[in-house]
Chains A and B, each alone.
Chain A
């Protein structure tokens, strides 16, 4: 089966967690989902519905218990840990609820981190990281440490980092969960712009309907299954 133009195509995607001395706990049940390049998808669902687990699997931060995952036409299931690392480095950008920036490391160096692992030389790393910070409006705070930045600024540093290797896919897990409404709007506008202007595919997990409205497609998870998949209705 050729996945064609689809950026992401998962079939019979399942995940269960092993509990020591107990039955495995199922989290995802045979999920089928396709995301085309350039889409802006919001994933919603109550706590425990498996949406974060699904994101981690999409991001190759975790491996599925069963099923197939085609990313840009490549089957991810058979890849080694190092090949997955290369995939995360070049194809995927992550934005987390808790930002996950390296403490004690400047905004510039945080943004440059993926470039380090991509084998980009020092001078070019710094130049590109500076350009990325400029794009997210933090060009003047390159030397600042994460704890010297506001939540919204930290999240913008994280977005700049996600963009560092020019990924095809940005995965954002509750990116506005720690931010106030106004800052949340700014962050979501930034995602919208990246999606519209550069054609980067964006998948955002959220439990807020207001946030989901920035997307064009809405997928709703309930009990580890896709319960709804359709256009976002304003």
Chain B
């Protein structure tokens, strides 16, 4: 029996309400998981390349929430913060490059729909 599980099966309503009222590591992780899934859904389904980029930003934010949550609740060191800052830096670089590529693609194809762009040059 794993006693550190946040919620055991068959717990009472009072226990669950107590769990809800004390946000901790699991709460942040669950939010991050949902945010990650939403981002992946955007990446997989949207046709517009810029919407795909927005999905990537959601995924990166979910990863950052995880870094900071573990930094706060488990290790107690600031290494997670430094990683989060590097993720933000790379996200900025990625957004700039990706937007430049999207603008170029728009010039060449008059469209930024990822399912219509199937050639490297026209």
A, B from the same assembly: no
Chain A interfacial positions (CB closer than 8 Å to B) = none
Chain B interfacial positions (CB closer than 8 Å to A) = none
